């Protein structure tokens, strides 16, 4: 039988990640009931239409009453305000978490508001798509993907382990690390790739209008891959860059140095430097496929 980790789960924010958690938790039987709160009435109504929860609240403080697990699923920039709003209503011993793509800044924003009598276990599921909102969720989103937890060193190991079990019931793998380390690793695996994708799509959008329509027609030659990532939610991503500045600037610095070297190689016709790099990078793709983090099918298995 499936294990029940919590009696009542409260989700504050019910977009892609919140709705995927709701669907996954329902399917795995990891929780008894699900309470949902979100800011906008139409979003809440849509969540109810989709049957994502058992009870729906406009006020997040109402939603967390009686919940032994609370997960904040809003953009990173809203986490502090949500923590402030729910703090007085949190149950003793509840696990309180989030799913923000940045961890140190979220902890700085939330922790001061949270009472001593709860277990704060910040989290980040390394899974997503370019879509957002409650309709975008699906129960399989977290399967075979990692969820990173960044509890304080003083956190109760039993509470952390219980919360890890909850995530594992969705088919996720769980890693624990410091918030600072998380932010550095995600700066290179996620934040910089998004920045660069947004940037090149922006560069193309600014081209003379004659060329612009051709950019769309001929996008299958590489460009279209970048447009997927650059179609991600603007609020979410603005908040990520505002809240992980140091690590992103550090990785961007390295990227720029490396790009200058390539630029020079192109300018001076240095084929060897180009060939060397282009051969090294293939091995990384192979490793990612080997560890099951991407499909081996050509072109991501897109229909042809």
Ligand X SMILES: NC(=O)c1ccc[n+]([C@@H]2O[C@H](COP(=O)([O-])OP(=O)(O)OC[C@H]3O[C@@H](n4cnc5c(N)ncnc54)[C@H](OP(=O)(O)O)[C@@H]3O)[C@@H](O)[C@H]2O)c1
**Using alpha carbons only, how large is the chain's radius of gyration in Å?**
21
| Residue 251 site contact among ligand X, its own copies, none (CB < 5 to 8 Å, cut-off depends on kind) | its own copies
| Residue 33 site contact among its own copies, ligand X, none (CB < 5 to 8 Å, cut-off depends on kind) | none
Indicate the residue among 33 and 227 with the shorter CB distance to its own copies. 227
> What element of type H or E holds 135?
none
Kindly provide the residue ranges of all beta strands, DSSP E only, lying in the chain, ordered along the sequence: 6-12, 31-37, 55-57, 69-72, 95-98, 119-120, 123-125, 146-149, 173-176
| Residue 17 site contact among its own copies, ligand X, none (CB < 5 to 8 Å, cut-off depends on kind) | ligand X
Query: In sequence order, which residues have a C-beta less than 8 Å from that of residue 143 and are 6 or more positions away?
Result: 170, 171, 172
Part of the chain binding its own copies (CB under 8 A), chosen from 23-31, 53-61, 91-99, 221-229: 221-229
Taking CB under 6 A as the criterion, which residues in 13-52 touch ligand X? Answer: 13-18, 38-40, 43
Indicate the residue among 117 and 264 with the shorter CB distance to its own copies. 264
Query: Least Å distance between CB 72 and its own copies?
Result: 19
Q: Are 118 and 90 in contact (CB under 8 A)?
A: yes
Residue 233 sits in the site that holds ligand X (CB under 6 A): yes
End-to-end Cα spacing for the chain: 42
Residue 185 sits in the site that holds its own copies (CB under 8 A): yes
Length of the chain, in residues:
304
How many CA atoms lie within 13 Å of 148's alpha carbon, on the beta-carbon side? 19
By CB under 8 A, how many residues form the interface with its own copies?
Answer: 107
Query: Least Å distance between CB 265 and its own copies?
Result: 8
Residue 169 sits in the site that holds ligand X (CB under 6 A): no
For the chain, give the longest Cα–Cα distance: 67
Part of the chain binding its own copies (CB under 8 A), chosen from 39-47, 63-71, 105-113, 201-209: 201-209
Residue 53 sits in the site that holds ligand X (CB under 6 A): no
Kindly provide the residue ranges of all beta strands, DSSP E only, lying in 167-262, ordered along the sequence: 173-176
Part of the chain binding its own copies (CB under 8 A), chosen from 42-50, 53-61, 88-96, 243-251: 243-251
**Whole-Å CA distances, 216 to 104, 203, 219, 299:** 39, 13, 5, 18
Indicate the residue among 156 and 223 with the shorter CB distance to ligand X. 223
Q: Are 16 and 128 in contact (CB under 8 A)?
A: yes
Residue 105 sits in the site that holds ligand X (CB under 6 A): no
Residue 216 sits in the site that holds its own copies (CB under 8 A): yes
Rounded distance, CA 38 to CA 45, Å? 10
Indicate the residue among 157 and 269 with the shorter CB distance to its own copies. 269
Residue 133 sits in the site that holds ligand X (CB under 6 A): yes
Residue 108 sits in the site that holds its own copies (CB under 8 A): no
Query: Least Å distance between CB 260 and ligand X?
Result: 25
| Residue 75 site contact among its own copies, ligand X, none (CB < 5 to 8 Å, cut-off depends on kind) | ligand X
Residue 266 sits in the site that holds its own copies (CB under 8 A): yes
Rounded distance, CA 195 to CA 230, Å? 8
Closest to 176 (Cα-Cα) out of 195, 196, 157: 157
Interacting residues toward ligand X by CB under 6 A: 13-18, 38-40, 43, 73-76, 78, 99-101, 124-125, 128, 132-133, 233, 236, 240
């Amino acid at each position: 039988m499936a294990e029940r980790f919590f009696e009542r789960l409260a989700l504050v924010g019910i977009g892609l990640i919140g709705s995927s958690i709701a669907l996954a938790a329902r399917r795995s039987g990891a929780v008894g009931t699900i309470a949902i709160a979100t800011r906008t009435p139409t979003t809440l109504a849509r969540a109810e239409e989709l049957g994502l929860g058992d009870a729906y609240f406009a006020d997040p403080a109402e939603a967390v009453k009686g919940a032994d697990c609370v997960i904040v699923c809003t953009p990173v920039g809203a986490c502090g305000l949500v923590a402030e709003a729910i703090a007085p209503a949190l149950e003793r011993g509840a696990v309180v978490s989030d799913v923000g793509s940045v961890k140190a800044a979220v902890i700085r924003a939330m922790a001061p508001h949270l009472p001593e009598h709860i277990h704060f276990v910040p989290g980040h599921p390394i899974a997503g798509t370019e879509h957002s909102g409650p309709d975008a969720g699906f129960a399989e989103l977290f399967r075979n993907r990692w969820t990173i937890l960044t509890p304080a060193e003083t956190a109760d190991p039993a509470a952390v382990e219980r919360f890890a079990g909850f995530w594992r019931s969705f088919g996720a793998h769980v890693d624990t690390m410091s918030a600072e380390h998380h932010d550095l690793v995600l700066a290179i695996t996620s934040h910089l790739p998004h920045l660069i994708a947004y940037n090149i799509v922006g560069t193309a959008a600014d081209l003379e209008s004659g060329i612009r329509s051709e950019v769309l027609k001929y996008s299958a030659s590489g460009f279209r891959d970048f447009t997927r990532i650059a179609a991600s939610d603007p609020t979410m991503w603005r908040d990520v860059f505002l809240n992980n500045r140091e690590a992103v600037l550090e990785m961007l610095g390295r990227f720029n140095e490396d790009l200058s070297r390539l630029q020079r190689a192109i300018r001076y016709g240095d084929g060897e430097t180009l060939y060397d790099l282009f051969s090294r990078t293939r091995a990384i793709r192979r490793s990612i496929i080997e560890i099951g983090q991407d499909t081996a099918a050509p072109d991501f298995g897109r229909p042809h």
